[in-house]
Amino acid sequence: MRSALAQRLADGVAASSTQQVSLDVLYDAAVAFDRSLASAPTARAEIRGALDELVAAGLLTFPVSPAHFDVREVPRLPLWVRRPPRGRTGREGLSMRVWPAALEAAGQIATQTSDLDVLEAVSAFLRSGGAQRPSVPARERSLQLFGDEKRLDSLTRTRLFTSGALTLDLLRCHPVPIPFVSQWVEGQPDPRGVALLIAENHHTYTSLLEITRSQAAQGGPQRHVGYGTGSQFPSAVLTVPLLKPRPKRIVYFGDVDLKGLQIPASADRTAQQANLPPVTPAWPLYELLFDVAPRRSTTEIPADSAADAARWLGPLASSARELLITGLRLPQEAVGHERLTDHPNALLNI
């Protein structure tokens, strides 16, 4: 039975567009599988052991010359490995297999023994009535099919999936976005409906939450306050329906820079495609940010890209566009705890 780390490295090697795969690529794949390998004293030995398994299975070869090994520590590691040419490893056996109709396309492009293992597991799943099962989170199905909850994470980057021959829908599972941190603040009902206020950065999130609680205690509005986890928010917005009470408005506040404007614009597209409320700017907070924030230098953005990114800010788009073009940005932390205390209506009126 191949170890989980060896299988993850095998998937990475099989997915490589070149026969020669560098040690850096293998190391990154190992750390992506198990983050503890980034610092664990045993990491080097675990990676070498996994590579030895793959050599024994005929899935890769080491360099012949000792000059192509990293010998600074023990055990030594190859600076690169080489996989067999496409179509040689186990191809004869694969081409003679008869697969269910749903797997015929995958069977035609399977080129590795590891591909065969995947198709065997999926075939058994389908034979046992898998197509009628409910769709579950991908890592639950991955554990069931392969004994490794993270195996599908790497498999979806291999040709079996990128070609469309295999899909998560066929395996009756779906990806699950990382949820954002959110807290409900009890206060007075808002006639506009329950709001979810999202901050791009977690320091601003803390200040928004503290001031919202203080205002609610004095008769201010109730709302959810969340931290969008930066660039994760366009995916995490899909978890909004899990909040209780369910928000009727999603209001966002972030940096005025290229990334800070692209994140909510992307989240807005995702939300509307999923029939969720649109992601709209927290206008009073952005207006205050433009008034008080220090202009910080950053990379100048071409006019077309700046206009596209700034469009989400509506009436403030022109001002945001000029900032981006001239290489300036506004950090949202300028509207922090003290500023919000001095300008309470900026938060009350979102």
Say if residue 154 is in the same domain as residue 194: no
Q: How do residues 116-136 score in pLDDT, each as one tens digit?
A: 889 989 999 999 999 999 999
What's the number of domains the chain is made of? 3
Instruction: State the DSSP H helix or E strand holding residue 337, giving kind and residue range, or none if neither.
Output: helix 337-342
Say if residue 321 is in the same domain as residue 189: yes
Residue ending a domain, choose from 82, 105, 121: 82
Say if residue 138 is in the same domain as residue 200: no
Residue ending a domain, choose from 127, 153, 174: 174
Of the candidates 267, 204, 256, 205, which has an alpha carbon nearest to the alpha carbon of residue 231?
267
Lowest-confidence pick of 92-106, 107-121, 316-330: 92-106
| Rounded distance between C-alpha atoms, residue 160 and residue 117, angstroms | 12
pLDDT score recorded for residue 191: 92
Say if residue 152 is in the same domain as residue 198: no
Residue 147 CB neighbours (<10 A): 12
Residue 94 has pLDDT above 70, yes or no: no
Q: How do residues 179-202 score in pLDDT, each as one tens digit?
A: 788 999 999 999 999 999 999 999
Residue ending a domain, choose from 82, 112, 132: 82
Say if residue 281 is in the same domain as residue 192: yes
Say if residue 72 is in the same domain as residue 112: no
pLDDT score recorded for residue 1: 52
Say if residue 154 is in the same domain as residue 203: no
Residue 161 has pLDDT above 90, yes or no: yes
Residue 92 has pLDDT above 70, yes or no: no
Say if residue 167 is in the same domain as residue 302: no
Say if residue 300 is in the same domain as residue 185: yes
Please tell me which residue, 83 or 321, carries the higher pLDDT value: 321
Say if residue 268 is in the same domain as residue 301: yes
| Rounded distance between C-alpha atoms, residue 149 and residue 317, angstroms | 44
Rg of the chain over Cα atoms, rounded to whole angstroms, equals: 26
Say if residue 339 is in the same domain as residue 210: yes
pLDDT score recorded for residue 322: 96
pLDDT score recorded for residue 54: 86
pLDDT band at 280 (very low <50, low <70, confident <90, very high): very high
Please tell me which residue, 194 or 6, carries the higher pLDDT value: 194
Q: What is the CATH number of the domain that holds 189?
A: 3.40.50
Say if residue 268 is in the same domain as residue 310: yes
Query: Which domain, by its residues, includes 215?
Result: 181-348
